[in-house]
Structure 1
């Protein structure tokens, strides 16, 4: 419970299945031709009062998040999904002050000679917790 007696709440926002046409991949052909990428995003919402107030201004606009992720995924090409996921997580943390972000990027039609449903990378990025300085105890 908080100091004023209200129970503490944790809010996590999820965007599942954001489908984008991108130009990421190890091979030049993947980067040149492009392919569909499916993104799942999950992150904590710091200081979210919307559960109590029901006001849009007290939470994060999902459309704005989707736009930021879309812009990040399409503005340049990365060789690895790991790097793409990291950059998306960093931008979300910078923009919204999140302490933790999970980004999953999947290629539903990977350019492989085998029948594979998808290949995916999932990255969890957490903000560094600053350690107390000696003598602060």
Structure 2
């Protein structure tokens, strides 16, 4: 096969691959999960508690639910909310960084997600200046 014929063959192969539909990539997002928790640097924050707002993103990749339409073939976002509430309320952390990491690690351990992103916001942070909120984000990737 001459170099010109080889180039034409590769171009035809590329065209065929482009015509095939790609697998859908699934991302599950949960925004504004509001929980009353006991996290913070000060003893008062940990004792009295405060509301946190959590946003989550789980990259599932391709999943069977795009074909089967069965919740069993994807990650159930209602169940994810329950897991996050449990992690956030079962113990107290000083930093939002540690809380977000604990949540991300639990989600990666429990679900078949490629990546997990967790954002925790304090709408009423204990600081003497006016702010809308403060937040911390953690991004984790699956080892597998």
Q: When the two structures are superposed, what TM-score results if normalisation uses the length of structure 1?
A: 0.86
Is the Cα–Cα contact under 8 Å of residues 87 and 102 in structure 2 kept in the other structure?
A: yes
Match of 1:45, SS? Answer: strand
Query: C-alpha deviations, 1:87-126, integer Å up to 9, x for none?
Result: 1000000001322100000000001111111000011111
Once the two structures are TM-superposed, the CA of residue 6 in structure 1 deviates from its matched residue by: 5.2
Q: Distance in 1 between matches of 2:138 and 2:72?
A: 29
Q: Which residue number corresponds to residue 9 of structure 1? A: 24
Instruction: Provide the TM-score with structure 2 as the length reference.
Output: 0.82
Unaligned runs of 5+ in 2: 1-15
Aligned residues: 127
2 CA distance for matches of 1:45 and 1:124?
Answer: 14
TM-fit CA distance, 1:47: 4.6
In the TM superposition, what is the alpha-carbon distance from 1:46 to its structure 2 partner?
4.8
More helix by share: 2
Q: Distance in 2 between matches of 1:10 and 1:108?
A: 32
Q: Structure 2: how far apart are the matches of 1:65 and 1:123?
A: 17
Give 2:139's match in structure 1, choosing from 108, 124, 130: 124
